[in-house]
Chains A and B, each alone.
Chain A
């Protein structure tokens, strides 16, 4: 209630401070709008009123003053005043909803009708003796209320404490304003009312859960950064990740959206404080990002130290209000309720990478290793392209289930892991529709080439497990490939022009081996070579030497016999011994020129193709062993013997031994396990119905000699 002073002409002037939504910028609405006749509270008559709106954005050094003079309101009905007030406030208000505060019931009702959220932050009373006497009345009011206490006097009381030097320029400013206007209190006044500086060696604090650390800095168990919006939070995370590592914060990181009793929302980042060094780093980055830093333990958080108080702050009085969180800053104290929790991982996954045009600018080096995803339609072509240009690459097929019943098939994408990517290939892929090229940042996560994630992902690598591939596309979609599909070399997936004709003379199912005749479009020839024999690990024994082979097997030592593997064809036997086939001096020795590709020892294949190319050429052999033989016309005639046709000689050549089954059983256990004792069912009369219960029985016979 405003205090009434003065005579019958005297008016009371309510000072109403209107505080806007806290979006990191303090917005205050000073409103001197009411003069009430001494004898009437319900029917106000406005002699003259003016409204001043000051929008102060202290964080960004920006002020917006909105002024409006509502003149001639003395005879204006209250409804008219309200509508004008509403229009005025809406015209000067930022897009965010303005929170207006009223101290008296009529103004409060008016503001509520304007759908504004109301909170009282202060009230001042001054005498107004008419419009012309406003300035004088203001000065008088300041003198009257200097040093007064109470929650509704603080604005004037605090102002009265200012020295004359600071008051003079403000008087000059006020003289330019309309009459009956009052400034909102200065920042220093708030600080003096909410916080006090911590002193060196101070051990007792009113703030619960804080204590001085080794350096004397007031520190709680947790640090808290308050952000007005999500972009400020992301800016903080980005700056912190660029400067250090977010991995050290992740184990204790909590992101929450807070809501004030006025239903305004802000964001909170909370981590374990651990030390004032960490908090200093957090505070430094938070200042850059526009966040307010607090420290505390459970519910009450006080402002962290700054240059104004190097050892931190303590609060003057705890806010006795039910809330999940109470923050004490030098400009405000505010109770919050937890709205919902934000998962850091979700935040990272929802942020859209931003474009970096300089990634493809001329002269900028591109990373050597790249990942790429391709739609199924272009995947095959890319496979051929990579194989044709001999680019070392691996490919896998990632698959995601259908997201709805309307999808007729699961989503499939080719995933390429390209090493030593030429720049032209990277540019080509990036320009192809349906193909996205990613730059690996860590072992299992990558961002599309030409884009950068708002948060330094390499600083939070612990969030990504190695068994899952995370690909951040430029359009904001995150491809999560889990489990990681098996990657295969491109060369094993591409189609070649080698035609393979199967020779059915050898059948693995019949246990006789199998040959395959391969005809190559490019004719290969077998030529004699003077090079020393190397890797002689196979021999091809013609069927005519079968008897010799049988006799030899009897003479072979056990080790050789165990290592020897044989495939039995209709015309020849194929014998393999990885340690050397010298133990079987029969047939045509063969050298292994490429994995599982053999040519007769002392010969070579012309043209002299490399082992890799040779392998590619006979790719369709599957897992078979290929033995080249010289045809009568000198061309190389490959024969493929399936790996399944090979087996140990001891199993292939020896007859089966039929064992006679003998019945046997375990010996019976001599000692039976003891059972547990269990009582019978309880009866009301235990001895009822027991035969001979009253019969003493046959007297015992005394043993002999006793």
Chain B
């Protein structure tokens, strides 16, 4: 048992210090092998992480406090970019399970495991991934949702560098590993040429059809509702779930998500949110659900018009497909406010701002068409506000019940 405990801690050191900490600029590995040739850190995958280790990992801490401190500082800094945060707890079970699942998922993208004696391990690790994804609970607070998003968002941005080494006679390929020293030795004499290409891990998972890693990655993303909202294009067909609506019911998180989306541009998410709005409008959910979803989409469009600092130029072309309903939200909101609807408070703006919004709504009306505007107005008519305004801080447990109620 003592050996197992030591192994677990060693595995945690390698995972948290060698794989997670480099995401935030720190690493427990000091040797040159843990660094890229340009001197930057490398996120070093370690051995597969079984779900049974989750109990240990959620309570463990690194042996190097400075690395842990840097990791926490980076975590807070990244979270602060989205919403104001006070204290984020890490390791936390949900975030740790997401990180472990992503680690195992990326471990499976290594093509060297498709060989004798190792091929069988892939099925087992795949089961680890499924178990770890299942072990992720719904976020219970704003901090939990943010920590998950920060970690998963960084993990989704990871890239792998593949190297093709050619000499006068042979060609060697190294996937996600540096080329061996003997292969690149005496480069001039042996006419060694290296070609480096980088591939995103998301792209690699999507390319895998044998193990269906792409589907599992989508499943993993769905465990982080903030990530799901900020990057809806990663979901196959994005719909508002209870988790995402619970997140959107928190005004602070919603504003942060809206700002992040507007910064990146709404044209790439218009179809996703239009589709989600169409689904939720057709499923006849509770009025509170509709209220949260409509508030989110309406704020998205209002901020797009009002926040010119982002430099975003709204789309001028006619909306297509699911974009129609997304575009129809703003004119429907203007009509809804004129009819003194429950969401009319969203247009309590200064005259100049209101004038710009109305002008923009007319353009949107032309883009969306009357049918889409009429459908959106129907959703507005069915929405009912939450009372009082939900907040994770004030009532972490009741917010979900309010939305679901």
A interface vs B, CB < 8 Å?
A: 670-680, 682-687, 689-698, 700-706
Contact = CB atoms under 8 A, between A and B. Distances in A.
A706 B138 contact: yes
A692 B117 contact: no
A274 to B, nearest CB: 40
B48 A686 contact: yes
Given A675-B36, A695-B50, 5 more contacts: A676-B161, A676-B198, A684-B117, A686-B118, A693-B50
Given A686-B47, A690-B48, A695-B50, A679 B158 contact: no
Contacts of B54: 697-698
Interface stretch (B73-81, B264-272, B363-371): B73-81
B23 A680 contact: no
B52 A696 contact: yes
B154 interface: yes
A698 B56 CA distance: 11
Interface string B304-339: 000000000000000000000000000000000000
A697 B25 contact: no
B52 A677 contact: no
Contacts of A697: 50-55, 131, 135
Given A700-B137, A706-B138, A677 B48 contact: no
Contacts of A704: 138, 140, 397, 400
Interface string B118-146: 10010011000001001111101000000
B47 A678 contact: no
A703 B137 contact: yes
A674 B23 contact: yes
Contacts of A705: 242, 400-401, 404
Contacts, number: 146
A671 B25 CA distance: 9
Contacts of A676: 36, 40, 42-43, 158-161, 198
Contact of A686 (B24, B121, B134): B121
A704 B50 CA distance: 25
20 contacts: A670-B77, A671-B77, A672-B23, A674-B158, A677-B159, A677-B201, A679-B175, A682-B112, A682-B118, A686-B48, A686-B118, A686-B121, A689-B7, A692-B50, A693-B124, A695-B50, A697-B131, A700-B135, A703-B140, A704-B138
B22 interface: yes
B177 interface: yes
Nearest to B36: A676
Given A676-B43, A677-B176, A693 B48 contact: yes
Interface of B: 4, 7-8, 11, 22-25, 36, 40-48, 50-55, 74, 77-78, 80-81, 106-107, 110, 112-113, 117-118, 121, 124-125, 131, 134-138, 140, 154, 157-161, 175-178, 198, 201, 242, 397, 400-401, 404
Given A680-B47, A696-B52, A671 B78 contact: yes
A677 B137 contact: no
A689 B14 CA distance: 15
B74 A672 contact: yes
Given A670-B81, A691-B11, A675 B43 contact: yes
Nearest to A672: B25
A408 B138 CA distance: 92
- Which secondary structure dominates chain A's binding surface? loop
B262 to A, nearest CB: 18
A697 B104 CA distance: 15
A683 B125 CA distance: 15
A690 B175 contact: no
B242 to A, nearest CB: 8
A64 to B, nearest CB: 62
A687 B121 contact: yes
Nearest to B44: A678
Interface centre among A679, A692, A701, A706 (most CB of B within 10 A): A679
A677 B80 CA distance: 25
Interface centre among A671, A677, A678, A685 (most CB of B within 10 A): A677
- The 5 closest A-B CB pairs, nearest first, are A692-B52, A697-B51, A695-B52, A697-B52, A672-B25
Contacts of A691: 4, 7-8, 11, 50, 52-53
Contacts of B158: 674-677
Nearest to B401: A705
A684 B118 contact: yes
Nearest to A670: B77
Given A675-B40, A679-B112, A703 B159 contact: no
Nearest to B42: A678
B400 A677 contact: no
Contacts of A684: 117-118
Contacts of B136: 700
A674 B161 CA distance: 13
B310 to A, nearest CB: 17
A682 to B, nearest CB: 5
Nearest to B135: A700
A692 B176 contact: no
Contacts of A700: 134-137
A585 to B, nearest CB: 59
B8 A685 contact: no
A698 B137 contact: no
Contacts of A682: 110, 112-113, 118
Nearest to A700: B135
Contacts of B400: 704-705
Given A692-B52, A701-B137, A679 B45 contact: yes
Contacts of A695: 50-52
Contacts of B44: 678, 680
Contacts of B159: 674, 676-677
Contacts of B4: 691-692
A692 B8 contact: yes
A674 B137 contact: no
Contacts of B401: 705
Contacts of B78: 671
A399 to B, nearest CB: 39
Contact of A677 (B135, B160, B242): B160
Nearest to B49: A690
Contact of B176 (A671, A675, A679, A698): A679
A678 B45 contact: yes
Contacts of B8: 691-692
Contacts of A698: 51-52, 54-55, 135
B177 A678 contact: yes
Nearest to B14: A680
A702 B137 CA distance: 7
Contacts of A701: 137
Contacts of A675: 22-23, 36, 40-43, 158
Contacts of A694: 50
A696 B43 contact: no
Contacts of B107: 679
Contact of B121 (A673, A677, A680, A685): A685
A684 B11 CA distance: 19
Contacts of A687: 47-48, 121, 124-125
B135 to A, nearest CB: 4
A693 B137 CA distance: 22
Contacts of A706: 138, 242
Contacts of B160: 676-678
Contact of B118 (A670, A685, A692, A696): A685
B110 A679 contact: yes
A671 B153 CA distance: 13
A338 to B, nearest CB: 30
Nearest to A698: B55
Contacts of B157: 674
A705 to B, nearest CB: 6
A671 B81 contact: yes
Given A691-B4, A695-B50, A678 B137 contact: no
A694 B51 CA distance: 10
A673 B154 CA distance: 10
Interface centre among A675, A679, A700 (most CB of B within 10 A): A675
A622 B51 CA distance: 88
